[in-house]
Amino acid sequence: MPKVNRLADLKRLPIGTRLRVVESLLGPVEQGRQGRCLEKVKSNALGFSTERRGYDSWELSWLQLPKASDFEATEDGFIVREDGAVAARYVFDIEQDHRDATMEAWARAMTPAVAGGR
């Protein structure tokens, strides 16, 4: 499972990482809901696949990245706060068939390059 310690780590998540919202200020969250797959990373937002189809392609659902002061890392995901209250809590949701590829990509992304190394 990916480990996020800082807000900047969200921008380094590999494409294919799955996140699931488990708590939301907007209302109840459906239990047993499948996580959404990360499809695109921008400097200020993460784009996740949806079940809706747009005009030209599948629509993305965008998670705007919060300010660092509104971000809190947890053991299995992260919390986004708004005015001090929990706006949403996300956990990593890695399906079995995506686990190996996602973890391998995560390990490559998080392993620092060694000078003169491989």
Sort strands 77-82 and 71-73 into parallel, antiparallel or unpaired: antiparallel
pTM of the model: 0.70
Of 111, 113, 112, 109, nearest in space to 13 by CA: 109
Regions of the chain where pLDDT drops below 70: 1, 32-33, 51-58, 94-118
72, 85 Cβ separation under 8 angstroms: no
Task: Supply the DSSP symbol for 39.
Answer: E
38, 60 Cβ separation under 8 angstroms: no
Q: What is the pLDDT of residue 109?
A: 62
Of 89, 94, 115, 116, nearest in space to 105 by CA: 94
